[in-house]
Amino acid sequence: MKPVFTLASKLPTLKSTMTPALFPAIGFSLLLSACGDSQPDIVDSDMQNDAPMAAETDTNPLLADSTLPYGMPPFDQIRNEHYLPAYERAMAIEREEIDVIASNPAPPTFQNTIVAMERTGRELTRVARIFSNVNGANTNPELQAVQREMAPRLSAHRDSISLDPALFARVDTLYQQRDELALDPESDRLLERYHTSFVRAGAQLSEEQKDRLREINSELASLGTQFTQNVLAEVNASAVIVDTRDELAGLSDAQIQAAANEAAERGEQGKFVITLRNTSGQPPLASLENRALRERIQKASVARGSRGNEYDTTGIVADTLRLRAERAQMLGYETHADFILSEQTAGSKAVVNQMLGGLAPVAVANARVEGEEIKRMIDEIEAEPFELEAWDWAYYAEKVRQARYSFDESEVRPYFELNNVLDNGVFYAAEQVYGLSFERRDDLPTYHPDVQVWEVFDVDGAGLGLMLGDFYARSSKRGGAWMNSYNTQSGLLGGSKVIGNHLNITKPPAGEPTLMTFDEVTTLFHEFGHVLHGLFSDVEYPRFAGTAVPRDFVEFPSQVNEMWATWPDVLENYALHYETGERIPQDLLDRVLEARQFNEGFGTTEYLGASIIDQALHQLTPEQIPSADDIMAFEAQALADAGLNYDPVPPRYRTPYFSHIMGGYSAGYYSYIWSEVLDADAVQWFIENGGMRRENGDQFRNALLSRGGSVEAMDLYQDFAGRLPDIEHMLRRRGLQQQ
């Protein structure tokens, strides 16, 4: 695969700021496959045989088509005990369906083999989507037990299909005859994708190799679950307990009250608890005046999962890396990175390494300049100056920003109230660009009281689907922000769209408004871009529905949607004071927008640190994989080799809690910056064609968003823009000089 744009000599001057959002693999795919084909959120640990088994399958709501609008899951009927028997019955049904296809005495045809496989597994798809989505957003010990039970069993089930020699023989026969079949383009691509998926899943291996591959896949599934559960458990267990209110100076009254409420819920009456997010940096560090407390929070954050901790994940990571590397070589690739990247738009690790290697030195150089400015601020305002540490950066960077741009977050947040940003910003932009409208559906059941539901209507008034908004953080919810699908569309099977949209905003005390940072506003627009990608899906085959595109392409449409957060007409409509309704003062808004590039050296460096760790770990052969004892030393060396060993700016994720690379983003965390090239070019296309015009929205929707994975990703881009993306637009957007 050829690279889609040339990065060569331009990259050494590139500087960037990134706010990556978490976007998990969504849905369920028939096969273990690559390049954007969906997989379940369960990728996961050893079994507990006492998981609940009580529900009868004939009354199990997971095994029947929902009667609610758009196939909305009947959350009010679903109980923890329904999941395991539903999984078991659904796997048995799919196995029976596959056996009929594999044993068909008739010669293989596209209809009796490929289309027939597209029709299989509807029950399992439903169960897996609902379970994995709820387990990620509102887990409990019973669901985690099911997750541990089902992870290796689902792996074995997928292997029983993808390694079935009779089934592959039918697919292979058709693939060899594909030039004679006269298929339409989407059908031809479907055949090619099935064949590629079977081959990449091991269909051409010897029986001995297949046996080993089954063992590897089962172990990886169990390790993935164990990692996920450890990370969630430790992010909750590592919350920092604070004895006195005085120590929280700098936080708002609402933040302090939320900390007091959290402490009360944990049985720590009269104290305060600072909860953690899954990133290395923690939001309270930007406000807390108490340096000793900032240090405690930062050290608790970066120590998660380390060697010897109760929730140590280093051994899990080492075993996972070794098994992935072994599997890659078994399938004919040098490393796991080669295996993954061969199916992405980047095409190879050489291209990815070139991009990351070009960005890293300039990013860290910018971060060091920023660090020097922060140190000058420390020396100026502190009676006893000290060296800049990671727990100081956010606090004093905010003071530098206040001095330079004459505002702080407390001035801005009142203009970004969640419901107003959503209704008059996110939804308003979608109405202007795509003609959509939205209506609250409080009559539909949800899996948690905080979840809200909207019905989405198309420009002609027809119902398009449902969006579930789950915006608040809680201890039962994984970190980050993401979109997922509960129900998808295809011409073959019908169906409607039900999309989940998740953030992790701190919930204010009862009766208080949810006031957002500008970064959170941008993330809300970003995740809604993924929602649009799912809602606009209009494909024939389920395999291609929604966001089933390469991992390094999937972030592109959502990043494009971020542009409406700062589009003047949209900003004017939603940046309103939550109490007075007054628009944000123009001079304050100008300063906010001017400050968007502030601290970009830090943002790029922490992002690239994580991206380079990801690539370094996954570009190893099996014998090169470090042991659990050596994982952190390897991480430190990888950062040093890239010139990113600048202590005040740790990587956005350290290896022991880097959930992206233990899930759908292994060897793929570079995708955000890769997608930014496409994003910047697409934004330029919108500007060149008149900006916020319905005609532009229709072009983006019809040529790209609606087509899912039914066309090669970069062909989709050219169908939309009429050109390949030009990196110059990203360089110009950031005011970068050419060398």
Please give the positions annotated as active site.
Answer: 527
DSSP string, 320-350: HHHHHHHHHHHTT-SSHHHHHHTTSSS-SHH
Q: From residue 110, how far is each of 99, 164, 172, 191, 534 by CA, in Å?
A: 17, 18, 11, 8, 27
What interhelical angle do 600-618 and 671-688 show, nearest 10? 130
Mark out the alpha helices in 110-206 (DSSP H runs). 116-118, 122-137, 141-162, 165-176, 185-200
What interhelical angle do 713-721 and 671-688 show, nearest 10? 20
Give the type of residue at 494.
G
CA atoms within 13 A on the CB side of 576: 18
Contact residues for 663 (Cβ-Cβ < 8 A; gap 6+): 24, 25, 41, 43, 224, 228
Contact residues for 723 (Cβ-Cβ < 8 A; gap 6+): 681
Q: Are 615 and 337 in contact (CB under 8 A)?
A: yes
Give the separation between CA 338 and CA 324, rounded to whole angstroms.
Answer: 11
Q: Are 434 and 417 in contact (CB under 8 A)?
A: no
DSSP string, 384-414: S-----HHHHHHHHHHHHHHHHS--HHHHGG
Closest CA relative to residue 548, chosen from 670, 706, 715: 706
Give the separation between CA 563 and CA 586, rounded to whole angstroms.
Answer: 19
Give the separation between CA 560 and CA 642, rounded to whole angstroms.
Answer: 29
Quick one: tokens of 633?
A: 């030393």
Q: What angle do CA 133, 136, 142 make, to 5 degrees?
A: 100
Quick one: tokens of 117?
A: 């496989």
3-state SS assignment for residue 240: strand
Quick one: tokens of 48?
A: 């507990």
* C-alpha torsion 68→57→487→544, nearest 10: -150
The DSSP 8-state label assigned to residue 576 in this structure reads B
